[in-house]
Amino acid sequence: MRFRPGGSVDYLQEKLACYNKLLDERLRQIVKPQPPAKALYQMMAYHFGWLNRNLEPVHDNCGKRVRPFICLLVCESLTGSPAAALPGALAVELIHNFSLVHDDIEDASLLRRRRPTVWAVWGMPQAVNVGDGLFTLAHLALTDGTLEPGQARDSVRLLARTCRDLCEGQFLDLTMRTGPDPGLPQYLAMAERKTGALFGCAAKLGAIMGGAPDGVITALGDFGLAIGEAFQMQDDILGVWGDETVTGKPALDICERKLGIPAVLAWQRAEPADLARLSALYSRPAPLDAGEESWIRGLFERLGARAQAEAMVQERLRRAEKLLDEALAGAPMSRELHDFISLITTRDG
């Protein structure tokens, strides 16, 4: 085990800061504005927080980069260096951002990371195309680089299957919003595809590029999937009960009538009278008043939806820890991955 000052995760934060610098440098090369479509790449740079809407250089929030970190940590755990997995890390980060740009359009979201979304600034048509561009740059990151042909083919196949999962997940998410009953099986199928799949892909790409055998690749994929599902559910919990001063974003999920795991569990558990009121409030176009919002939040608590959601997160984290131990038993750096799990899932934001 490596030196860890005071048992804290400072050592890990420092490592992630190095990863972040590396990712930023390469992403800026990939997204470099080139004529004749300079402004296409500038819109991407805006989305990444490198330019403001007047296309002047800034350093805005570029997101948490959890997915590429997993990819790089897995590779470093296996080989002692993250370098080989850089194409994979870039690809998952580009795919994640493609999905954000399109999700924001599909959800009519005006803000992302406290800034106007791409479509809100440049309109829907250009923004759809910006997302398509990020989608394709992810595939270029896997094939324009230094990967062996076999690794490149396997990585692209994995990425394509993952993107199919993402589209299925997004389809389920869009469909749940207009459907009558947000069932738990449908939520789980959605969370597995919309969030779990790309986390699993990130871990698997790190393992493929780190030269791991098939059994280890599969186990690490399952590890990533469990982490991703936990991450999604944790995000849903913070969307209802998160403290904005800690998370950096207001807890708007009830206000926006978003069907996260607390709502889905409450739906399963509510008595007919509460269920009728809940359904009516969730399908009403008019905004909720403060009393209604607080009634819903209280109902979720009373029904034990918060406790059950937190138990579901913990269950997935335990599964992830177990898979990690099996896959990386004796690897020099598996501690980093264990600490990373705590770091991202005990987050308050």
Tell me how far apart the terminal alpha carbons of the chain are, to the nearest angstrom: 28
Quick one: DSSP state of residue 112?
A: E
User: Can you tell me which of 53, 139, 249, 338 binds a copy of itself, judged by CB under 8 A?
Assistant: 139
Task: Check residue 135 for interaction with a copy of itself (CB under 8 A).
Answer: yes
The binding track of 147-176 with respect to a copy of itself, each residue x by CB under 8 A or -, is xxxx-xx--xx-xxx-xx-xxx-xxx-xx-
Nearest to residue 68, comparing CAs of 160, 210, 199? 199
Torsion of CA 83, 84, 86, 91, to 10 degrees: -170
- Distance of closest approach, residue 98 Cβ to a copy of itself, in angstroms: 8
Q: Per-residue b/e over 293-326, b at no fewer than 16 CB within 10 Å? A: eebbbebbeebebbebbbebbeebbebbbebbee
User: Can you tell me which of 105, 216, 238, 263 binds a copy of itself, judged by CB under 8 A?
Assistant: 105
Nearest to residue 131, comparing CAs of 145, 111, 117, 141? 117
Task: Check residue 21 for interaction with a copy of itself (CB under 8 A).
Answer: no
Report d(CA 166, CA 268) in Å as an integer.
26
Nearest to residue 79, comparing CAs of 211, 274, 248, 195? 211
CB 141 within 8 A of CB 164: no
- Distance of closest approach, residue 95 Cβ to a copy of itself, in angstroms: 10
Nearest to residue 327, comparing CAs of 233, 242, 203, 244? 203
Report d(CA 130, CA 41) in Å as an integer.
8
From the list 9-17, 49-57, 133-141, 274-282, the region that binds a copy of itself by CB under 8 A is 133-141
Q: What is the per-residue DSSP string for 260-305?
A: -HHHHHHHHH--HHHHHHHHHHHH-SSPPPHHHHHHHHHHHHHTTH
Q: Per-residue b/e over 139-152, b at no fewer than 16 CB within 10 Å? A: bebbeeeebeeebb
From the list 138-146, 219-227, 256-264, 291-299, the region that binds a copy of itself by CB under 8 A is 138-146
From the list 34-42, 228-236, 241-249, 326-334, the region that binds a copy of itself by CB under 8 A is 34-42
- Distance of closest approach, residue 89 Cβ to a copy of itself, in angstroms: 17
Total of residues contacting a copy of itself (CB under 8 A): 47
User: Can you tell me which of 45, 51, 73, 142 binds a copy of itself, judged by CB under 8 A?
Assistant: 142
Q: Which of residues 172-211 bind a copy of itself (CB under 8 A)?
A: 172, 174-175, 186, 189
The binding track of 63-102 with respect to a copy of itself, each residue x by CB under 8 A or -, is ---------------------------------------x
**SS3 of 321, please?**
helix
- Distance of closest approach, residue 208 Cβ to a copy of itself, in angstroms: 13
Give 83 or 171: the residue with its C-beta nearer to a copy of itself.
Answer: 171
- Distance of closest approach, residue 213 Cβ to a copy of itself, in angstroms: 18
Q: What are the tokens at 171?
A: 């389809």
User: Can you tell me which of 17, 124, 276, 311 binds a copy of itself, judged by CB under 8 A?
Assistant: 124
The binding track of 207-236 with respect to a copy of itself, each residue x by CB under 8 A or -, is ------------------------------
The binding track of 40-69 with respect to a copy of itself, each residue x by CB under 8 A or -, is x-----------------------------
Q: What are the tokens at 91?
A: 């690809």
Q: Cα 294–287–283 angle (5° rounding)? A: 90
- Distance of closest approach, residue 159 Cβ to a copy of itself, in angstroms: 7
CB 344 within 8 A of CB 70: no
- Distance of closest approach, residue 189 Cβ to a copy of itself, in angstroms: 5
Query: Interface with a copy of itself by CB under 8 A: which residues?
Result: 36-37, 39-40, 102, 105-107, 124-126, 128-129, 131-133, 135-137, 139-140, 142-144, 147-150, 152-153, 156-157, 159-161, 163-164, 166-168, 170-172, 174-175, 186, 189
